[in-house]
Amino acid sequence: MADPVRLTSADHALIHAVGWVACNVLHDPQWQQTVLEVMREAVPAVTPRHPMMEAFARVAVDLMAASGEQVAWLRARRDAQQVVERFHLRRMAEAHEVFRQGKGKENG
The span from the CA of 21 to the CA of 24, in Å, is 5
Neighbours of 81 (CB within 10 A): 16
Number of other CB atoms surrounding residue 77 within 10 Å: 18
Decide: pTM greater than 0.85. no
Q: What is the DSSP string of the chain?
A: -PPPPPPPHHHHHHHHHHHHHHH--S--HHHHHHHHHHHHHHGGGSPTT-HHHHHHHHHHHHHHHHTT-HHHHHHHHHHHHHHHHHHHHHHHHHHHHHHHTT---TT-
Q: What is the pLDDT along the chain (108 residues), one digit of tens a residue?
A: 455 678 999 999 999 999 999 998 887 889 999 999 999 999 999 999 999 999 999 999 999 999 889 999 999 999 999 999 999 999 999 999 988 998 766 655
Domain ranges of the chain: 9-99
